[in-house]
């Protein structure tokens, strides 16, 4: 079992920045993937960015050049630095953990970009 705790959401003006953090605890395998997904009202959940323990990173086209994902393998944490935020980035952001056994989701944190 893996537990994920997210933090860092909130309200920000267009063009602003936010930093999301997620801490994983429980039975963590040495090879895993941590990532961020988001779900806007009335839309499907979509990938934002993921990073493996080996450092392989994948970004959604819509956030490339604006968002940066990083992780600390020793602490089992993942951070999403979001810059140049747009109103269309407004969504609930979910942390996700995947290993060879299963996948787990965090409870989600709201990000609202509005003036």
Tens-digit pLDDT profile for residues 4-28: 999 999 999 999 999 999 999 999 9
Q: What is the pLDDT of residue 7?
A: 94
Q: What is the pLDDT of residue 40?
A: 97
Q: What is the average pLDDT across 39-45?
A: 96
For residue 89, report the phi and psi dihedrals to the nearest 5 degrees.
Answer: -85, -5
Q: What is the pLDDT of residue 2?
A: 96
Q: Which long-range contacts (CB under 8 A, 24 or more apart) does 29-34 make?
A: 29/99, 29/100, 29/101, 31/99, 31/100, 32/97, 32/98, 32/99, 33/96, 33/97, 33/98, 33/99, 34/71, 34/78, 34/95, 34/96, 34/97
pLDDT in tens, 104-113: 999 999 999 9
pLDDT in tens, 43-92: 999 999 999 999 999 999 999 999 999 999 999 999 999 999 999 999 99
Q: What is the pLDDT of residue 8?
A: 95
- Residues written for the chain: 115
């Amino acid at each position: 079992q893996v537990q994920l705790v997210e933090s860092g959401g909130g309200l920000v003006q267009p063009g602003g920045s936010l930093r999301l953090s997620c801490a994983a605890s429980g039975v963590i395998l040495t090879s895993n993937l941590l990532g961020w997904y988001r779900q806007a009202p009335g839309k499907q959940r979509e990938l934002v960015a993921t990073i493996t323990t080996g450092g392989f990173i994948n970004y959604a086209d819509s956030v490339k050049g604006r968002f940066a994902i990083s992780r600390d393998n020793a602490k089992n944490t993942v951070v999403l630095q979001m810059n140049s935020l747009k109103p269309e980035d407004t969504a609930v952001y979910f942390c996700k953990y995947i290993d060879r056994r299963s996948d787990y989701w965090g409870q989600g944190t709201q990000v609202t970009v509005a003036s």
